[in-house]
Amino acid sequence: MQQTHPPIEVIIAGADNFNPQLQQPLPELLPPQTSPKNNSALPKTSTPQPGNNFKEVTSAASASQNRPASSNSQPSSLQKAPVVPESLTTNFRRDRDNFGQENLLLETTPQFKLPNGDLLNFTTGVNLFKESDRDTLINVPLRVSWETRINSVKLRPEIGLDFFNRLPIAPNLRLKLETPISSSATLSGLVSYGPYKFNATTLENQISAFHLSPALFWKLEKDTQFFGMYRFGQYSDGNTEHQLIGRLEHKIGQFSIAANAFLWSFNNDVAGTSGYFSPPDFLVYNGEIAWEGKPFDFLRCRLSTTLGEQRLKGSFSNANTYEARCTAILSPTIEADLGYALSNVQNRSPDNSPFQNQSFTGQLRVKF
């Protein structure tokens, strides 16, 4: 089942942006993921083949040619429904570290197709941000987005409001663009503005962020692909952010290996005042090995391990992530994902204390 997987809108850590699926949808050259975002510090790609629409198109064309003409037939534009339900996608994510910080996100997105083929998405849900030294902050997002094409360029503008139980209403804006630049490469970009949903402290300080993120996906050959992204961030507290991400992956049957590198820097370390992880110089590099296969006809799973190093404030330590993820086909129109990840890649400055984060993710997709 070919399905759009709208991601939960949250920025948890720069290292999480190693995953191309976390902030931007994959280019169309790359088949869609079997599961949603994960909390691994490094990217993982799982690429089942997309559905083949060619047979549907040719079958419809053949049927229309063989159908006798009718003098009573009305123009097709009058017979089309103005809006047709396409799908319903529900995302769940729970991140919790060993310092008592927990983010719990639950959002659902119904998608509709317009008569001209454009897609309209509405998103809402309930998000909880918890910390050991403060009351839980509740967030209810309301967003609407529109997906269209102008020649070869795919556009997705989005506008929304974030409601909180004890904070003012905050606007958020996003614009995604994607275009092929060759038969094997796709260039994409994301521009966004809104509350920085790092944790309860950052939200209570009413920190907002502007992000500009160009990215490149390049399929070097049949089983080898490259993903690179640069992200520039400007924060309402005056801070400036730079991220640089690179991933090279090669598949060998059901296995894959990958090399990853990530560099993240802020002009100022404001963790003590604004509440978000803002290292002046943070480096992560590692290698990844993964297996993906089908234990049963209805179940597809992926297991991965990344081993490497991270440098924070001039000090080196291990940077490891372990992840399991499965997709179950419950019916021809229903799929469900479930994932778990354990990582020690830094998401805060813990003053030499060991850091660990656990992430549970899930997604339910229903196609109408």
List the structure tokens of 5.
């997987």
119 or 348, which is more confident? 119
Cα gap 79→100, rounded to integer Å: 56
List the structure tokens of 112.
């509709």
Contact 271, 278 (CB under 8 A): yes
Q: Give the 3-state secondary structure of residue 110.
A: strand
Contact 285, 309 (CB under 8 A): yes
Enter the DSSP assignment of 58: H
Q: Give pLDDT, residue 133.
A: 87
Distances (CA, A) of 164 to 160, 202, 204, 206: 13, 13, 10, 11
Q: What is the pTM of this model?
A: 0.79
Cβ within 8 Å of residue 213, ≥6 positions away? 23, 24, 189, 190, 191, 192, 229, 230, 231, 232
Query: Mean pLDDT over residues 179-197, rounded?
Result: 98
Q: pLDDT confidence of 107, banded at 50, 70, 90?
A: very high
Tens digits of residue pLDDT in 137-165:
999 999 999 999 999 999 999 999 999 99
Find the range with the poorest average confidence among 7-11, 170-174, 222-226: 7-11
Q: pLDDT confidence of 35, banded at 50, 70, 90?
A: very low
Tens digits of residue pLDDT in 217-246:
999 999 999 999 999 999 999 999 999 999
324 or 313, which is more confident? 324
Q: Give pLDDT, residue 233.
A: 98
Q: Give pLDDT, residue 177.
A: 98
Domains of the chain with bracketed CATH: 14-47+89-367 (2.40.160)
Contact 264, 282 (CB under 8 A): yes
10 Å Cβ neighbour count for 298? 12
- Provide the CB-side half-sphere exposure for 341 (13 A, CA): 28
